[in-house]
Structure 1
Amino acid sequence: MPRAVHFEIHATQPQALIDFYSSLFGWSFSKFHTGEYWMINTGPDSQPGINGGLLPRPGPIPGPTASPNAFVITIDVENLDASMAKAQGGGAVLCVPKMAIPKVGWLAYFKDPNGNIFGMMQMNSEAV
């Protein structure tokens, strides 16, 4: 069964949110090997939970302040191409086409039928 494996926080000011979440929850942040991306460690692997990432916001903050401005979650899938086709067949809209995350896997982002963004990733250490 596909499981949630990663979340992302989009930040207008990355360092400000790194400082905020480090102080609030004790999360640790480490720069990823590509671009402006920080990995978030939310706790020990021996405890339930998932880790995430933080990146510069790709556009303006969505909507008025009364509407949710949420984290993006990524689901681990066995076959990204098949899952992409199934998502689109169910009414999802492709937002970010399939792309390689070097040495990690293949990733794509969708909007579900209600407009919520989610990612799907097929792990593959040979992705380039």
Structure 2
Amino acid sequence: MAKKMPVVYWEINALDGESLSEFNEEVFEWETEVSDTKFHSFRSGDPKGINGGIFTGKGTLPTHRALYIEVEDMDEIIERVKNQGQEILQGPFESGNNILAFFTDPEGHMIGLIQRK
């Protein structure tokens, strides 16, 4: 049987994270918490929903929308991505209790990988 690798998180690296967060709060009535780094964490409030976040772009990656897929073995998945000829944009690297990596799919969409420590 195939391993389950669910989508577990989403993020938007925006040009104006503050404004985009306010838009989503108003339109969808989503509640958010804002960190001292201006990262807006959204909680779905529904067990069927997926939590996510919006922030103003910074660092290595360009503005983007990304889904995070939870994996059990980051190295194995990174190798599969490379074997398919796709680019690893960043990582793997540690972030809190997670290991993260980002790659592009064949159409150029960015995908995030997350492995829980």
TM-score by length of 2: 0.84
Q: Does the alignment pair 1:116 with 2:109? A: yes
The verdict on how the C-alpha distance between 1:24 and 1:101 changes in structure 2, with shifts beyond 3 A counting, is: same
Q: Does the alignment pair 1:5 with 2:8? A: yes
SS at match of 1:55: strand
User: In the aligned structure 2, how far is the partner of 1:60 from the partner of 1:7?
Assistant: 16
Q: Does the alignment pair 1:49 with 2:49? A: yes
**Alpha-carbon displacement from aligned partner over 1:28-58 (angstroms, at most 9, x marks no partner):** 211347x44221112223xx12111112124
Of the three residues 15, 37, 51, the one matched with 2:39 is: 37
Query: What are the residue-to-residue correspondences of 1:44-123 with 2, within 5 Å?
Result: 44-45=46-47, 48-58=48-58, 71-103=65-97, 105-123=98-116
The verdict on how the C-alpha distance between 1:109 and 1:12 changes in structure 2, with shifts beyond 3 A counting, is: same
> Which runs of 5 or more residues in structure 2 are unaligned?
none
Identity of aligned residues (%): 25
> Which runs of 5 or more residues in structure 1 are unaligned?
62-69
SS at match of 1:110: strand
Q: What is the root-mean-square deviation in Å for CA atoms of aligned residues? A: 1.9
The verdict on how the C-alpha distance between 1:86 and 1:32 changes in structure 2, with shifts beyond 3 A counting, is: farther
The Cα of 1:75 is off from its aligned counterpart by 0.2
